[in-house]
Amino acid sequence: MRLTHFWSLMNDEFGQVRARALFEDLTLSPLSSRTARQALDDGEDPRAVWLAICGATDVPTDRLLGRKKPGEK
């Protein structure tokens, strides 16, 4: 996963303000209690960071690949 896709998923799921707050402040147990920023700075795969955020914030499984846009099936 590229960082652009990571940020697209983050902003789509949480909105820009909350996405940025989660990125900076939420510590993630699966990532050795690092924040998303720390994990990515340390070279962690963006997909692993996204999935850790999803797990910590209870994102439904059907939205792990993003929200469906109106008209999508």
Summarised one tens digit per residue, pLDDT across range 31-60 is 999 999 999 999 999 999 999 999 999 999
* pLDDT recorded at residue 67: 74
Per-residue pLDDT band for 65 (boundaries 50, 70, 90) equals confident
Q: Is the pLDDT of residue 68 over 90?
A: no
Per-residue pLDDT band for 1 (boundaries 50, 70, 90) equals confident
- pTM confidence score: 0.89
Mark 18-43 as b/e (b = at least 16 C-beta within 10 Å).
Answer: ebeebbeeeebeebeebbbebbbeee
Domain ranges of the chain: 3-63
